[in-house]
Structure 1
Amino acid sequence: MRKKKLSATQKRLLCAFIGSSLFWHTPVLGYGEESPEAVPATGHTTEEKVAKDSGQYEFNLEGIEVTAKRLRTTSPIYAGGQVARESNLGVLGNRDFMDTPFSITSYTSQAIEDRQASTLQDILRSDSSVRFGTSDGHIMENFTIRGLTVNNEYIYFNGMAGLAPQGRVPLEFVDRVEVLKGPAALLYGGVNASVGGAINLVPKRAAEEDFTTLTTDYTSQTQLGGHIDISRRFGEDKELGVRFNGVYKDGETEIDDQSKKRLLGSLAIDYTKDKWRTTLDAYGSQESYDNGSVSMYNFYQNSTTKQYSYSDAPDGSTNLLKGAYGTLRNNAFLFKTEYDLQDNITAYASIGKLASTSTGYITGNHIRSLKSDGTATINLYNQYLWTDTTSADFSIRANYQTGSVKHQLNLGYNQTDTDSASTYNSITGIQTNLYNPTSLASYYSLLSTPSRPNKTSETNLSSLFFGDTLSFDKAKTELTLGLRKQNVETYSYALNTGALTSSYESDATTPVIGLVVKPWGDSVSLYANYIEALSPGTVVSNTSYSNYGQVLAPYRTKQQEVGVKWDQGKFANTLAFFQINKPNSLVENSVQSYDGEQRHEGVEWNTFGNVSEHVRLLGGITYLDAKVTRAASNQGKVPYGTPRWLMNAGAEWDTPWNRDLTLSLLAVYTGTQYADSGNTVKLPSSVRFDLGARYKTTVDHTPVTFRANVENIFNKHYWSGAFSDGYVTLGGPRTFKLSATWNL
């Protein structure tokens, strides 16, 4: 097992982490506070209520009434605290879920904390439309939404493409995790192959009231850690906000003999002055593992004829890669500003940059050709991967009225430029056995980590968006129409010489249409949408094809969706009917193209909120009917990794004998699914249960919340899904989590 000492940088970060907790706990002197509002004798007027609900604050200066627009620190929370009312729809701005012509769920920081979620996979386990494309606990996390892939590099950060942490996303600095189902690149900008949906991370902001919280936690086997969260506001009107989050965790995990270390530091600053509002978010994260990793598994018995043989799932703690190691580092910043040109016109501008580096045994180290007797082979890849992304946008939003019709006009431009490279040293075909693993020490000694490679890929994405939301009949009907003109430029370079080997440029225009109708008041919304997503074409790499070396044109994925949303005030239901048509690679007459197609049709039901004063629900059921509708072979087959039935049901109960004690249960059901495109191997259905409890109390006049969670309480061994043809993912083992959060 490789033993590592703290680097000088890590030591300084740890000292800053501890020191800042002492400094920030010191009371801040010398800032003014807003005077308490006088209560009018006749109560609040309608105009006053609208101003407060819209994030405006009114106060008087020597008889002169002044209204200042304060940057909203968080989205309004729905009853129960687990889901936010609003979500960021990219160029369309923040929208209440009842005013949104899409299926979207926004998970709150409270839900994240109560589940003791440290990564996206932990919190998205509550969503029936989401499953995972990597085994539980892997250093890389990929997802599927509505049965279609959403890779981690296509996660958005505060509505911007290319700036979210790559690998595994830490959640301690995230206020909301927003999940939009269906193709969404048109809304957020960018061109990507992840067409199942979009995941947007909204960073934490300084709250109106100052606070400091310290969380200490334990995760089995011996993972210990701490998280400090500091929120402060400064200035006479508290116009400057600062939020700091710091995390340090280290120790052995539930994966046999594996250890992990995780570091996070984030700073969020917001400032409001008259008509100007601006934010700056910066973070640095590092995750490293030592002495092995969980794996993905391959059922191939003959890669030429694509013959498969099913094997039962091993224990989720199985570690066949003992001795492997890897490190992921992410550093990023995002600067956003907005200015009110007029009362009804606001200009927005943003720029950000991400630098991500991964070294060690990161991807591709799968267990291959697994047989029922446990025999298999391993390919080892010691890698160096890096990505540098710059993302920027500029937009203008205007509100105006023509006759009885209100308009919200949006015009925006965005640009995302990405440079990247990858290289590796490898050994393939190592014989092993699931029940008697081969020692890999001698192989690791032959594989050094490569040095940082020269740039091998460059992608420049730019787009122009125009949209208008028309509101009729006192907002009972809203129609959104939009177009995005997208341009794609890709360049490939030789690894050793840096010479340009291929390039490609293309453009396309994609539409969005959204409709929301409220025929019976604000409690019921009927909605529909049509949206297209543009995905980049790939280079034909098979030398036997007659169009070898050709860069295929970008392809379009199309979605039609209708649904209904019902808000009872404290409990809400949403129901969606959707169809997604996605082009697939097709080879005919030795020519590769995107003329193939698969179709995903389905129904989603989601529910959240309080069913009674002390009982909360969060979950849903998804029915998915996926088919390959056009192909040279496998036409009419079910795409791998697309279960027909999925269910996630979570409940919380405040116990009657002590309302400060809350018990929770989460059940996750995944129906049968095929592991291969030929539908020869079917994975059995699975159900796993998670239990939780939390208790709020006071210790020495300090509010404390104790939490305990057990994931996969029956330690079920199961295949959780399929992420590639013949490759399956493994569900995690039983895991215990304990924490205490102190409000200092």
Structure 2
Amino acid sequence: MQLNRIFISVSLGLLAVSHSVLSQEISSDDSVETIEVMGTYFNDYQVENASGAMRSNVSLLETPQAVTVIPETIIDEQLATTLGEVLNNDASLSPGSKQRNREVFSSRGFELSSSTGYLRDGHQHWSHYQQPIETLSRVEVIKGPSSILYGQSAPGGLINMVTKQPTVAPLLEISADTDQNGSTRFMLDAGGKLFEATAYRAVLVKQDVDFQREYQNGGTRERDRFLGSLVIEHNITDNLVANVYYDRTNDKAGLDTGAWLNEDADVISNENVINDFSWSFTDIAVENIGAKLSYFFNPDWEMKLGYNEQSFTRQRFESSPGLPSDYQSGDSYTSNPYDRSDDWQFKTVYFDLNGTFTLAGVEHNLLIGANGLDYYYGQLIERGDSIVFTPGEIEPAKPDLDFHRDTSLSVTEYDYYGLYFQDLITLDEQWQVAVGGRYDKQNREGADNESLLPKVGVLYHPAENSTVYLNYSEGFEPQSSETIEDELDRNFGMEIDATTSKQVELGAKWQFSEHLLVNGAIFNIEKTGTLISEQLLNDPVFETVTTQSGKQVHKGVEFSAQGAVTDKLFLMASFMYLSAEFEEDENYQGNTPVDAPKWSASIWSRYEVTEALALNAGVFYQGERYADNNNTVLKDAYTRVDVGATYRTHIWDKTVDFRLNVENVFDADYLAGGGINNVTIGNGATARLEAKVSF
């Protein structure tokens, strides 16, 4: 297609330019001394530790669980603008629905909750929106239950987003990128010293997105996003460091709740046309403000105290189209519009005391801590009359709806706290044991819960650069109440229990050639009490039906490799085999959960042709996935191939990087995450070009 020809032309142009520049440098003066460069060998694909996995400075070789760290280098190379684009690099994560300008993911087949599945710098983080990844230095994927350190969390794992921190050295980067749809993003990243003992980091982003799918009236779906972030760090004394930060995100976008599928997994709505009306939108404002104090008693002991206050407000003006049960392409369907306001307030705090000591000849790395959450949610909503619409007709006018007219504020409040400890015990050069536990208490009207959770891991190091480990961990997730609260759910008032989980994992890690980390893991996770919500079709009273499963069992094998293969070739690769099943369930026994592929894989690589030119290639594979828990609709497997190239030069003594990426270079048609009535249509071939200047 035309886009492929454009990419080939530009790539050849970059190669020609680099070859020309090199030729001129070599031939312009034969008397100039030639210096042979044997590659940069800057191993920026591999990270040695993950701060979120053990909440302390412990290497990955001493961490008794599977962890993947996606560094900033890969985020930048892929020109990623959403967290989903970053998480594609780990095969254990599968994408779900992208409806309503947010992203949903599953880890090892278990969906990550917006309230309990994500962390930011170790704080529980409300993530009911697309995360501002321009502020991140890396993303840590922590596999398996992690409740002993963080409290309520899904059995599949946690996503810890680690933010960029102040720099002592001066930093100023300005970049701009665009794609063939007309989308643009402008970014400033600055840092350095403010005063002798004070440093800062600031990030500004302005992004406008034009999406490929259009509305019924031919209008373009657009997104307008602004991000501002500031972090200041001050050394109060040699032992006491204060860190304060503030960031704000404004994100407004037209709505696209996804396409509709029939029993053959064929798109029965027009795959290029959005079923929502062009006047539907979501408008989000998110603020984070917080502080962290770090006190170093001595080189062996450290105390941290952190506080974060997150404010998340959203207006959602919906047309809310519903899929009829016997829908055929071109048939009429009904929309049920409403105007809704959501107000979430997340206040989190933690205290950690971490240190190392020797007792009776045995080394200990001890963590003692506590964390807590204060949660508030308020909702206002005004609903309008139903609209019957036939594709091809003139789009209905925007109804007169205003959530401010709702006088019955719906409020949900609760708080919880937990006390935890963890001890990594080094018995000798070959054997280590990690033990831990947590007491967790939730205070909520009608839904008080408490739990006591253990965790144990055994590590064996057959050599200095390798580890074999076995761990056992548990998870606990109190439900929102003792009964289903949604009045529009058919099972409104049904009693529900807390969700519990446990995992056994056997794994191995090998630091190959000091520059490439290879991981493998076999896991078995059991979860009881999962809430399963299904959309109802043609029901005049209820929108959903929610049930609680008996037991889910997810078994799998993972493998990953990350780092430098040679001094010019860098690699991040992973694959997963997953057997996910409702083992004991009244409605779905023997079935596979939605968007839990049996096979998945990802590869991203960089090859440094010269010091000025680097090439990238990536392959992302998702196996067959069910679009419903009844397992009547099976989405095909797909493979997406991405390519890219970076050329570095100097203009007016400033370093300038030009980057070209093409996502889905072979223009493959595929269905990404989502179910029968909200599946995401994969984007066709998309080219993006960036220019970045470093001062």
TM-score, with length taken from structure 2: 0.84
Contact 1:79 1:609 in 2 (8 A): no
SS in 2 for 1:465: strand
2:81 is the alignment partner of 1:118: yes
SS in 1 for 2:256: coil
1:363-406 C-alpha deviation (Å, 9 max, x unpaired): 96665647453545544443211101110112222322112211
Partner of 2:258: 296
Change (3 A) 1:634 1:426: same
SS in 2 for 1:233: strand
Partner of 1:401: 358
Change (3 A) 1:437 1:287: farther
2:467 is the alignment partner of 1:562: no
2:555 is the alignment partner of 1:601: yes
Measured after TM superposition, the shift of residue 531 of structure 1 is 1.1
Measured after TM superposition, the shift of residue 558 of structure 1 is 0.9
Q: Following the alignment from structure 2 to structure 1, what is the Cα–Cα distance between the partners of residues 488 and 335? A: 27
Partner of 2:246: 282
Measured after TM superposition, the shift of residue 329 of structure 1 is 0.8
Partner of 1:660: 612
2:44 to 73, 81, 84: 81
Partner of 2:635: 683
Gaps of 5+ in 1: 1-76, 301-307, 492-502
Q: Following the alignment from structure 1 to structure 2, what is the Cα–Cα distance between the partners of residues 717 and 381? A: 33
Partner of 1:25: none
Partner of 2:226: 263
2:460 is the alignment partner of 1:517: yes
Measured after TM superposition, the shift of residue 600 of structure 1 is 0.5
Letter in 1 for 2:378: A
Contact 1:296 1:366 in 2 (8 A): no
Letter in 2 for 1:625: S
Measured after TM superposition, the shift of residue 208 of structure 1 is 3.7
Counterparts of 1:506-655 in structure 2, within 5 Å, are 506-521=449-464, 523-537=465-479, 538-541=481-484, 549=493, 552-568=496-512, 569-584=514-529, 596-655=550-609
Higher relative contact order structure (alpha carbons within 8 Å, sequence separation ≥ 6): 2
Contact 1:315 1:717 in 2 (8 A): no
2:186 to 217, 220, 226: 226
Q: Following the alignment from structure 1 to structure 2, what is the Cα–Cα distance between the partners of residues 611 and 225? A: 33
Letter in 2 for 1:358: R
2:70 is the alignment partner of 1:107: yes
Contact 1:586 1:631 in 2 (8 A): no
Contact 1:215 1:739 in 2 (8 A): yes
Contact 1:511 1:531 in 2 (8 A): yes
1:520-545 C-alpha deviation (Å, 9 max, x unpaired): 22x21111211111111244339999
Measured after TM superposition, the shift of residue 598 of structure 1 is 0.8
Change (3 A) 1:130 1:316: farther
Q: Following the alignment from structure 1 to structure 2, what is the Cα–Cα distance between the partners of residues 363 and 176? A: 37
Partner of 2:173: 213
SS in 2 for 1:153: coil
Letter in 2 for 1:482: G
Letter in 1 for 2:454: P
Count of aligned residue pairs for this structure pair: 630
Measured after TM superposition, the shift of residue 430 of structure 1 is 4.5
Measured after TM superposition, the shift of residue 82 of structure 1 is 2.8
Contact 2:434 2:456 in 1 (8 A): yes
Measured after TM superposition, the shift of residue 619 of structure 1 is 1.9
Q: Following the alignment from structure 1 to structure 2, what is the Cα–Cα distance between the partners of residues 528 and 670? A: 28
Contact 1:222 1:253 in 2 (8 A): no
Contact 2:94 2:596 in 1 (8 A): no
Q: Following the alignment from structure 1 to structure 2, what is the Cα–Cα distance between the partners of residues 699 and 663? A: 22
Partner of 2:309: 353
Change (3 A) 1:559 1:261: same
Counterparts of 1:196-211 in structure 2, within 5 Å, are 196-211=156-171
SS in 1 for 2:247: strand
Measured after TM superposition, the shift of residue 425 of structure 1 is 3.2
Letter in 1 for 2:453: T
Partner of 2:537: none
Change (3 A) 1:389 1:544: closer
Q: Following the alignment from structure 1 to structure 2, what is the Cα–Cα distance between the partners of residues 270 and 645? A: 44
SS in 2 for 1:89: helix
Letter in 2 for 1:288: K
Change (3 A) 1:595 1:111: closer
2:288 is the alignment partner of 1:332: yes
SS in 2 for 1:294: coil
Q: Following the alignment from structure 1 to structure 2, what is the Cα–Cα distance between the partners of residues 510 and 465? A: 9
Q: Following the alignment from structure 2 to structure 1, what is the Cα–Cα distance between the partners of residues 353 and 308? A: 19
Change (3 A) 1:103 1:365: farther
2:250 is the alignment partner of 1:250: no
1:484-528 C-alpha deviation (Å, 9 max, x unpaired): 11111224xxxxxxxxxxx2212011111122221122x211112
Contact 2:459 2:467 in 1 (8 A): yes
Change (3 A) 1:688 1:121: same
SS in 2 for 1:123: helix
Cα RMSD of the aligned pairs, angstroms, is 2.9
Contact 2:339 2:381 in 1 (8 A): yes
Gaps of 5+ in 2: 1-39, 215-219, 533-545
Partner of 1:696: 648
Q: Following the alignment from structure 1 to structure 2, what is the Cα–Cα distance between the partners of residues 208 and 153? A: 34
Q: Following the alignment from structure 1 to structure 2, what is the Cα–Cα distance between the partners of residues 426 and 310? A: 32
Partner of 1:186: 148
Change (3 A) 1:546 1:708: closer
Contact 1:97 1:104 in 2 (8 A): yes
Contact 1:369 1:377 in 2 (8 A): no
Q: Following the alignment from structure 2 to structure 1, what is the Cα–Cα distance between the partners of residues 47 and 459? A: 19
Change (3 A) 1:547 1:650: closer
Contact 1:365 1:381 in 2 (8 A): no
Q: Following the alignment from structure 1 to structure 2, what is the Cα–Cα distance between the partners of residues 615 and 353? A: 42
Q: Following the alignment from structure 1 to structure 2, what is the Cα–Cα distance between the partners of residues 392 and 363? A: 39
Q: Following the alignment from structure 1 to structure 2, what is the Cα–Cα distance between the partners of residues 364 and 530? A: 44
Measured after TM superposition, the shift of residue 716 of structure 1 is 2.8
Contact 1:382 1:450 in 2 (8 A): no
Letter in 1 for 2:500: R
Contact 2:622 2:638 in 1 (8 A): yes
Q: Following the alignment from structure 1 to structure 2, what is the Cα–Cα distance between the partners of residues 676 and 386? A: 30
Q: Following the alignment from structure 1 to structure 2, what is the Cα–Cα distance between the partners of residues 460 and 650? A: 41
Identity of aligned residues (%): 23
Change (3 A) 1:734 1:451: farther
1:617-668 C-alpha deviation (Å, 9 max, x unpaired): 112111000111101133122222211000112222223xx44222212111
Q: Following the alignment from structure 1 to structure 2, what is the Cα–Cα distance between the partners of residues 511 and 455? A: 36
Contact 1:313 1:717 in 2 (8 A): no
SS in 1 for 2:229: strand
Q: Following the alignment from structure 1 to structure 2, what is the Cα–Cα distance between the partners of residues 141 and 387? A: 18
Partner of 1:60: none
Partner of 2:11: none
Contact 2:595 2:673 in 1 (8 A): yes
TM-score, with length taken from structure 1: 0.79
Change (3 A) 1:639 1:190: same
Measured after TM superposition, the shift of residue 703 of structure 1 is 0.2
SS in 2 for 1:254: strand
Q: Bigger CA drift: 340-349 or 395-404? A: 340-349
